Amino acid sequence: MCPVLTEIASTFGLRRGRPNGAAGFGGRTALCGALALFGFVPPAAAQATHAIAMHGAPAMPDGFTAFPYVNPNAPKGGRLVEGVLGTFDSLNPLIVQGLAVQEIRGYVIESLMTRGYDEPFTLYGLLARTVETDAARSYVTFSLDPAAHFSDGTPVTAEDVVFSWKLLRDHGRPNHRTYYSKVVTAEILDDRTVRFDLTGSNDRELPLILGLMPVLPKHAVDAATFEQSTLAKPIGSGPYVVSAVDPGKSVTFKRDPNYWGRSLAVNRGFWNFDEIRFDYYRDSNAYFEAFKAGLYDVRSENDPGRWQTEYDFPAVHDGRVIKESFPDGLPKLSSAFVFNTRRPEFADIRVRQAISLLFDAQWVDRNFFYNLYKRATGFFAGSELSAYHRPADQRERALLAPYPDAVRPDVLDGTWSPPVSDGTGRDRRSLRQALALLSAAGYQLDGTVLRNRRSGRPFSFEIMVASRDEERLALAFSNNLARAGIDAKVRLVDAVQYDQRRITFDFDMIDYSWEQSLSPGNEQSFYYGSAAADEDGSRNYMGVRSPAIDAMIAAMLDARHRPEFVDAVRALDRVLISGCYVVPLFYLPDQWVARWAYIQHPVRTSLSGYLPETWWHRPTRALQ
């Protein structure tokens, strides 16, 4: 019989209780034909495939040879030195404790599947040769590549996958614990096949989240000490192994000569250097001077002032250093001063609105950034997911209808814009508006000091920053706030202290950027969900607890098709904008990169921007 409900079958007089079992072939054909007349299409049987897309079908067919944004014939060899501003004290990026070397993921520790960087969210087989799920995504099955093994030669098995899932569910970072706890059971079907039961999760992204799960070697990881930061060299299945560690200063990866996945299509054109070293710098000026001196090879730049005026050294003039701009289609990495609404000073939205009005973005952009930045306009700026200057359509309004106070009218109809000052640094109109809001919230000026009308306490808070560039911007903001009698102290702390205070929400305000993709998903709960507000290590730095935000995230995760998904994300953007949880700052219109000319890259840039993993060192013979 066709795979239909028993009730439908009984309508046509075909019951399972017939003598000798099911209805005959003719009966089954009649039933299917009758159902077709009513527009019923039987669901297709689940099949194991080479890839899975969040919405729609994967762009690359089974049997493809390489992604279009790589040079499949890129030469192998040489060394890449990358500079990093900051420090590290751990080689485990999968736990809360410590400041980890993030590149361990991907370079050393692999996932079951890997991203296609030209698509919003599509995964292709890596450790897992195939993936299988049903239309409801109530389960997902991964079949491992028989060739997959760890760097010590031990095969990657289904036991390693289940071990990794349990370990990260119980001891990993909060996002891993949240995602992986949605799995009902993990069943080992054979040595290389794992089935995850996702019944009741109502999360269509979960099969892809599991596809990105890092796989750790069960035989080489001690679950009892996993949550402790460590500088022990990890064992992974990836293209590189950690060869040298200078704590806090540098870490060196060397190509694994026995890497199992070198011939896979998803790896062709990737991982071209024999050695990759990450050098860490504590000071931003020393960081830049080291690049000028040729101590590292590639530099991503986000300071317009430096990009405009300081790349005038001889190596740029004679072509040994090349400046480039790479376009990308992602939501822009928009920075913001983030209010910690757990603090009573910031619990009142009128206070947050007033403080936002006092930031003179036009003066800052002209005097600090040569007008090369763009003002952030939401949480998905510069992409189709942004609600900025787009009126809400019928689907969005339906989603938001149960929360009539969650979105400002001007945000709903697409007319809202961030405050615009006269650019003098002393805009009187903005100051008057801010003081009116502060007065309504219970504050009044006492000479040059803003005080709480009931307690008499001065209004003061701290802006915590981690770099000199952030400090400069925060000091300018502090001067703006002083005009309204607000004492905003700027505190520059080292990277370790900054990270520890940030993940425990021990701050009043920070400068932060949430990195977004064209397919935001479960991580939005980690960023903005109510459950994450008091979970140390989450990225709900704002401390927001909003039923409307939770509902928009749920609608986004439940969307089956791209248009309804986009509407749900735009609705989320509108609620976040309306809540005034941040003071919007700026974003770069493109990705700015400077490189020494012997480091080369593919002609085409992916939708996600440039990918250092696809770059290569120019062979020596090309210089002759």
pLDDT reported for residue 42: 45
- Name the pLDDT band for 6 (thresholds 50, 70, 90): very low
* Closest alpha carbon to 297 in 76, 75, 595, 592: 595
Does position 200 have pLDDT exceeding 50, yes or no?
yes
Residue 592, beta-bridge partner list: 301, 325
Kindly report, residue by residue over 53-101, the tens digit of the pLDDT.
999 899 999 999 999 999 999 999 999 999 999 999 999 999 999 999 9
pLDDT reported for residue 21: 33
Question: Which DSSP category does 621 fall into?
Answer: G
Q: For 335-581, CATH number? A: 3.10.105.10
User: Worst-scoring range by mean pLDDT, 26-40, 109-123, 418-432, 573-587?
Assistant: 26-40
Kindly state the percentage of the chain with pLDDT values over 70: 92
Does position 38 have pLDDT exceeding 60, yes or no?
no
User: CB neighbours of 385 closer than 8 A, spacing ≥ 6?
Assistant: 331, 516, 518, 520, 566, 569, 570, 573
* Closest alpha carbon to 378 in 418, 421, 337: 418
* DSSP three-state, residue 375: strand
Does position 428 have pLDDT exceeding 90, yes or no?
yes
Kindly report, residue by residue over 442-490, the tens digit of the pLDDT.
999 999 999 999 999 999 999 999 988 899 999 999 999 999 999 999 9
> Any alpha helices (H) in 151-303, and if so which ranges?
158-171, 174-180, 206-211, 284-292
Does position 624 have pLDDT exceeding 80, yes or no?
no
Kindly report, residue by residue over 474-483, the tens digit of the pLDDT.
999 999 999 9
- Provide the residue ranges of all domains of the chain, joining segments of one domain with +: 6-37, 335-581
Q: Between residues 201 and 547, which one has the greater pLDDT?
A: 547
- Name the pLDDT band for 262 (thresholds 50, 70, 90): very high
Q: Between residues 599 and 43, which one has the greater pLDDT?
A: 599
The residue written with tokens 């979960």 in the block is 206
pLDDT reported for residue 175: 85
Cα four-point dihedral sign 149, 153, 157, 159: negative
- Name the pLDDT band for 45 (thresholds 50, 70, 90): low
Enter the tokens of residue 569. 């994300």
User: CB neighbours of 191 closer than 8 A, spacing ≥ 6?
Assistant: 157, 158, 159
- Name the pLDDT band for 44 (thresholds 50, 70, 90): low
Kindly report, residue by residue over 180-192, the tens digit of the pLDDT.
999 999 999 999 9
| 577: Cα separation from own chain's centroid | 19
Does position 300 have pLDDT exceeding 90, yes or no?
yes
Report yes or no: 489 and 463 within 8 Å, Cβ to Cβ.
Answer: yes
Does position 504 have pLDDT exceeding 80, yes or no?
yes
pLDDT reported for residue 108: 98
pLDDT reported for residue 9: 35
pLDDT reported for residue 203: 86
Kindly report, residue by residue over 350-395, the tens digit of the pLDDT.
999 999 999 999 999 999 989 998 999 999 998 889 999 999 999 9
